[in-house]
Chain A
Amino acid sequence: MSTPENTDDREQPKSKKPADTAFKQQRLPAWQPILTANTALPVFLIIGLTFIPIGIVLVVTSNRVLEYDIDYTDTKCININNNNNQTCADYLKDNPVPTTPCTCKINFTLTSDFDGDVYFYYGLINYYQNHRRYVKSRDDNQLLGKSGSAATDCEPFQKINGTDIAPCGAIANSLFNDTLTLVYSGQTVPLQNTSIAWSTDKNVKFQNPSDPDPYFRNHAKPPNWNKTAWQLDPTHEDNNGFENEDFIVWMRTAAMPTFRKLYRKLLTTSEPFTKGLPSGTYELTIVYQYPVINFAGRKQFIISTTSWMGGKNPFLGWAYIVVGIVCVIVFAVFFILHRFWKMYVLAY
C-alpha cells in the first residue's frame, strides 16, 4: 500500500516504479533440474557404474588392512603373581586397591606379517565416554596451565579436603592405566608413546603450568590415580604432566560407547621391526589395573595396520557397492518403464 507523497510542485514527482533490473523483476536466469526419466536414466547409470568400482576398491583396501585383537577382560588374563588361577578381573574385584598389581601374560600368533606402520590400540566396550555429565566434567583452563581454582564443572572431582585436584574432573579421574607390552621371541617390541595424540591438542590445548613441580605438589592427585600427573613419565619432561600423550588421548572423549584409543606406535628403527611386525608368536604382558567388569564393560588390545583410507572398516566399501547396484537396478527398471509407458501412451 503506498500513499502519494507530497512532492515539490516545481519538480516532476519521482516515479515509484522499482528498477527494471533482472533481480527486481524476477527475470533471473534459472536452471531447473527436471527429473524426468530421460534425464535421470543416464545419471543413475553413470553413478551406478562409478560407485561399484569405488566400492570394490574400498573393500579391497579395507581387507588389506590387517587387524588382530585380544579381549583380555576376564578369562584370558590369569594372574601370574598368585598361584590360584584367579583371573585379574576377580583379583581386582577382591582387592580394589592392591599392593601388587595383577599381571598376566597372553600368548598369541600373528599368521601374516604386519607391514608398514603398525598401531596398537586399547579398546573399550560399553564405556559411555559420551555421557553428558561425564563430558562436561573437565577444566580446560586448568589443562592450559593457567592458574586459578578448578572449575565447578569438575564436581565431584574438584577438590579433596579443600585442595584442588589437578587434573580435575571425571574424565581425568578415569584415565586408562593398564600397561601393555609385547615380547617377540625374547625381544621386547619397541613401542613409541609419543606422536599418538593430536598435534593441536598437544601443542595448544594441553600445556603444563610454568612451574610444574611445586604446582603438582600443591595440588591433589585425582582419587583413582596411584601417582600424580607429574609422575606419568618422569624421564621425558615434554611427555609429563598435562602434556602426557596417553593422558591427552584419553581426554579426547569418544563419541560412541564402543571405542578404541591409540596406545602406542611401532618403532621401526631396529631389526626385525624395520618393515613392520613379522609374523610369529608374541607374548602380551598386561598390568591389569583398570576395572571394567563391574559395569559389564570389556577391554581389548588391538594391533592394526593402516591404509590410505585409515583403519579397517569395510562398511563404506560395501555401502558403495550396494548403492551402486541399487542405482543400476533403478536404471533398468526406469528404462523398461519408460519404454513401455511410452508405448502404452502412444497406443491410446
Chain B
Amino acid sequence: DSVILQLLSSDDPNSGITSQHLESFAKDGLRTLCVASRVILSDEYNSWIEIYRQAATAINNRAELVAEAAEKIEKNLHLLGATGIEDKLQDQVPESISMLHKAGIKIWVLTGDKKETAVNIGYSCKLLSDQLLNLTLDEDSLEDTRRQLQDHCSSFGESLRKDNLASLVIEGKTLKFALAPPCRQDFLDLAISCKSVICCRVSPKQKAEVVELVKRSTDAITLAIGDGANDVGMIQTAHVGVGIMGREGVQAACASDYSIGQFRFLTKLLFVHGVWSYRRLCKVLLYSFYKNICLYVMELWFAVHNGFSGQILFERWTIATYNVLFTAAPPMALGLLDRCCSAETMMRFPALYKMSQNKSDFNIKIFWTWCLNAVYHSIILYFMSYAMLRHGNMAYTAGLESDAWTLLTHISIWGSIASWFLFLIIYSNFWPTIPLAPEMRGMAKYVFSSMYFWFGLILIPFTALMADVIYNCLQRTLYKTLMQEVQEKELANQDPYDLVMARQTSTVSRVAERLALLKSVFVRTRTPKMSGIVAGPYHGFAFSQEEDGVVPQNQLIRNYDTNIVKPPGL
C-alpha cells in the first residue's frame, strides 16, 4: 500500500480515509493490499509503448530503463479500494515458537507485511511480549539509522552480543541502510543481542541478504523456513533450508533441504530428528575411525615382530572384508537406530536440544580421545594375544588373529551406549571359517579346540573395555550430563520433569528478567513515528496471570500464608 498510495493523483478523495482503514486492518493482523487504476488514452499509450519497447530491448541497464519506463506510466492512479486478507496462523505456531525459544534458538521473522501486521503476528506468536524490551529501527536515512543503531547498542552496554530479553523490529527501508557497510556490524551486534527480531516490508533479496549477514559474521548455524516463492532466496542461502508445502505452492519445498507439511513440525524435525541425527552421525564417524585405527595399528605392532618386512598379521581376504562384513553392522545399527532419549521426552524438554548445539559430541578433543583409545585397544588386543602365544604355536596365533576383529566389534558395541538388538549380538559372533586362502585351511578346527583361545576370548575384550567402562561410570557418577540424567529417569519410568525444570531456569536468567522489567518501567523508550495510532498495551486482563511469568501462579499461592490475620477492613 505504501507504494500505491504514492502513485495516486494528488487530489484523490479516498486516499486519506483509505490509509486509516488500512492501518486498522493491519492492527487486526490482516494483510493489506491496495487496488488502483487509470484509463490510458491511445496517444499516450502509443508514445509510451515506444519508450517501453526500447527499454525492454536495451543492451545495457535494461532493468533500470524498464523501471524508468514503468514509472512514467504508473502515476496519477485512481484508488479503487483496499483489501485485507486474514492469513491465519497455522496450528500451534505460538507453542512451537516458544519451544524454539526454550531450546535457545534465536528467531527472526522476515516478512513482506506492514509493520503493524508483523508486530501483531509477533505478539500472537509470543515472539514479542511485554516482558521483552522492544526496540525499533525506523529511520529514513543512513545517518539517522546509524545514530539510532549506536544509541541502541550503547544502551545495551556490557550485555551486547549476549542473551538478553529484548526484541527488535525493523522496517524494510531502514533495513536497506542497516545492511549497508557502515552500519552492518552495529546492526548485527544489536540483532544478535535480541531474543527475536522482526523485519517488515522485506523484499526477497533482502531476506537472503540478512541470512547471509548472519551466516558470515557469526558462527551460528542458520535455518530458514518459508512457504512461498519469495522465501526461496533465503532458504537457499541458509545452512539448513526448510520449506513448508502448503497453500502457496511447492516452490519453497523444491528449493529446500527438508520439506515439512506444517510449521509446527519444525520442532519435531529439530528436537527429535535433528538431535538423533547429530548424535548418530557423530557416533558412526568416531566408530569408523576407531575400528580402522585399531585394526591397522595392530599390524604395526606385528611389524615390530616380523622384522618390518611387510608381512600382514590378518589374512588377506579377511582384512578386505573386515570393513564390509564384520564391522558393518554396528555402524548401521548406530546410525539408524540409536536413541539417547525417547521422542516424547525430546519434545517435552526443548532444553535437551542445547546439548547438540555446542559441539558436545564431535570436536577435536573427542576425536583424538577416540583415536588414542583405538591405539590403546590395539595394544591390549595385540600384546595380550602375543603374550599368550609366545611359543609361537601357529594355530593359536592365526586363530586369535582371525578372532581379533570380532572382538573388536564386540568391544565397540559394548563400549558405546546405544540401543541394539539380539540379532546384532549373534551377528558379531559370525565366524570367518570360509577357507578362502590356503593358510586358513583347518584353522577353525584347531582354533576352536584350543582352550587358550576361548579363555583369551573372554579375557581380552574385557580387559580392553575395562578402562572405557570405568571412565563411563566415573563420568556418570561425578559429572553427569543432563541428557544422561533424563535417560536414567526415563528408564526408571519416572518423570524427568523436575530435573529439567530445575536446570532450565537458572538464577541468571531470572535476574535478567527482573532487570528488564524494571528498566522498562523507568526508561522512556522512543515512541514510534506513527501518527494516529495508539499502540495498545497488550497486557491482557488485570486479574489473569501471565503464563511463564517470573513468579508462577502456584508458587504465588503457596507463598501466601493464610494463617496471618488479615488486617481489619479488607
Which of A128-136, A155-163, A174-182, A269-277 forms part of the interface with chain B?
Answer: A128-136
Which of B1-9, B125-133, B443-451 forms part of the interface with chain A?
Answer: B443-451
Contact: B441 with A205, CB < 8 Å? yes
B394 partner residues in chain A, CB cutoff 8 A: 252-255, 259
Which B residues between 227 and 243 are near A, CB-CB below 8 angstroms?
A: 243
Are A310 and B337 CB-contacts (below 8 A) given A140-B438, A255-B397?
no
Which residue of B250, B339, B456 contacts A3 across the interface (Cβ within 8 Å)? B250
A108 partner residues in chain B, CB cutoff 8 A: none
Contact: A36 with B473, CB < 8 Å? yes
Which residue of B387, B398, B459, B491 contacts A255 across the interface (Cβ within 8 Å)? B398
Are A198 and B442 CB-contacts (below 8 A) given A128-B306, A309-B452?
yes
B339 partner residues in chain A, CB cutoff 8 A: 26, 30
Q: How far is the CA of A290 from the CA of B411 in the complex (A)?
A: 45
Q: How far is the CA of A273 from the CA of B556 in the complex (A)?
A: 97
B472 in the interface, Cβ–Cβ < 8 Å? yes
Within the complex, what minimum Cβ distance (angstroms) separates B507 from chain A?
15
Q: How far is the CA of A257 from the CA of B386 in the complex (A)?
A: 11
A1 in the interface, Cβ–Cβ < 8 Å? yes
Q: How far is the CA of A3 from the CA of B477 in the complex (A)?
A: 50
B445 partner residues in chain A, CB cutoff 8 A: 200
Contact: A1 with B476, CB < 8 Å? no
Which residue of A31, A40, A54, A257 contacts B469 across the interface (Cβ within 8 Å)? A40
A316 partner residues in chain B, CB cutoff 8 A: 388, 452, 455-456, 459
Within the complex, what minimum Cβ distance (angstroms) separates A259 from chain B?
3
A337 partner residues in chain B, CB cutoff 8 A: 474, 477-478
A135 partner residues in chain B, CB cutoff 8 A: 311
A311 in the interface, Cβ–Cβ < 8 Å? yes
Are A1 and B256 CB-contacts (below 8 A) given A132-B306, A257-B305, A323-B466?
yes
A30, A47, A51, A326 interface centre (most CB from chain B within 10 Å):
A30
Identity of the chain B residue whose Cβ is nearest the Cβ of A27 in the assembled complex: B343
Complex interface bits, B412-452 against A, C-beta within 8 A gives 1, otherwise 0: 00100111110000000000000000100110011000111
Which A residues between 205 and 248 are near B, CB-CB below 8 angstroms?
A: 205
Complex interface bits, B502-541 against A, C-beta within 8 A gives 1, otherwise 0: 0000000000000000000000000000000000000000
Contact: B476 with A36, CB < 8 Å? yes
Q: How far is the CA of A26 from the CA of B392 in the complex (A)?
A: 49
Identity of the chain B residue whose Cβ is nearest the Cβ of A125 in the assembled complex: B392
Count A-side interface residues using an 8 Å CB cutoff: 60
B463 in the interface, Cβ–Cβ < 8 Å? yes
A31 partner residues in chain B, CB cutoff 8 A: 419-420
Within the complex, what minimum Cβ distance (angstroms) separates B391 from chain A?
5
A58 in the interface, Cβ–Cβ < 8 Å? yes
Q: How far is the CA of A5 from the CA of B401 in the complex (A)?
A: 54
Q: How far is the CA of A34 from the CA of B366 in the complex (A)?
A: 20
Contact: B455 with A132, CB < 8 Å? no
Contact: B419 with A131, CB < 8 Å? no
Contact: A3 with B438, CB < 8 Å? no
Contact: B389 with A256, CB < 8 Å? yes
Which A residues between 88 and 114 are near B, CB-CB below 8 angstroms?
A: none
A40 partner residues in chain B, CB cutoff 8 A: 469, 473
Within the complex, what minimum Cβ distance (angstroms) separates A311 from chain B?
6
Q: How far is the CA of A33 from the CA of B468 in the complex (A)?
A: 14
Contact: B309 with A258, CB < 8 Å? no
Within the complex, what minimum Cβ distance (angstroms) separates A322 from chain B?
9
Are A323 and B459 CB-contacts (below 8 A) given A36-B473, A313-B390?
yes
Contact: A256 with B392, CB < 8 Å? yes
Within the complex, what minimum Cβ distance (angstroms) separates A23 from chain B?
9
Within the complex, what minimum Cβ distance (angstroms) separates A35 from chain B?
5
A323 partner residues in chain B, CB cutoff 8 A: 459, 462-463, 466
Q: How far is the CA of A256 from the CA of B401 in the complex (A)?
A: 13
B56 in the interface, Cβ–Cβ < 8 Å? no
Contact: B470 with A131, CB < 8 Å? no
Within the complex, what minimum Cβ distance (angstroms) separates B261 from chain A?
10
Which A residues between 134 and 161 are near B, CB-CB below 8 angstroms?
A: 134-135, 140
B311, B414, B417, B451 interface centre (most CB from chain A within 10 Å):
B311
Are A310 and B477 CB-contacts (below 8 A) given A128-B306, A326-B466?
no
Contact: B419 with A32, CB < 8 Å? yes
Contact: B310 with A1, CB < 8 Å? no
Identity of the chain B residue whose Cβ is nearest the Cβ of A141 in the assembled complex: B438
Q: List 24 A-B contacts (CB under 8 A).
A: A28-B421, A30-B339, A32-B419, A32-B487, A34-B417, A35-B417, A37-B476, A40-B473, A131-B309, A135-B311, A255-B392, A255-B394, A256-B390, A259-B394, A260-B391, A313-B390, A316-B456, A316-B459, A319-B459, A320-B455, A323-B466, A327-B466, A337-B478, A341-B477
- Known pairs A32-B418, A320-B455 / 20 extra A-B pairs, C-beta < 8 Å: A1-B259, A2-B259, A3-B254, A26-B276, A35-B417, A35-B472, A131-B307, A133-B309, A201-B441, A201-B442, A257-B392, A258-B390, A259-B392, A310-B451, A313-B452, A315-B387, A316-B455, A326-B466, A341-B477, A341-B478
Sorted nearest first, the 7 A-B pairs with minimum C-beta distance are A259-B392, A30-B419, A200-B442, A255-B397, A132-B311, A130-B306, A132-B309
Hey, which bits of chain B sit against chain A, CB under 8 A? Answer: 243, 250, 253-254, 256-259, 276, 305-307, 309-313, 337, 339, 343, 384, 386-398, 401, 414, 417-421, 438, 441-442, 445-446, 450-452, 455-456, 459, 462-463, 466, 469-470, 472-474, 476-478, 484, 487-488, 491
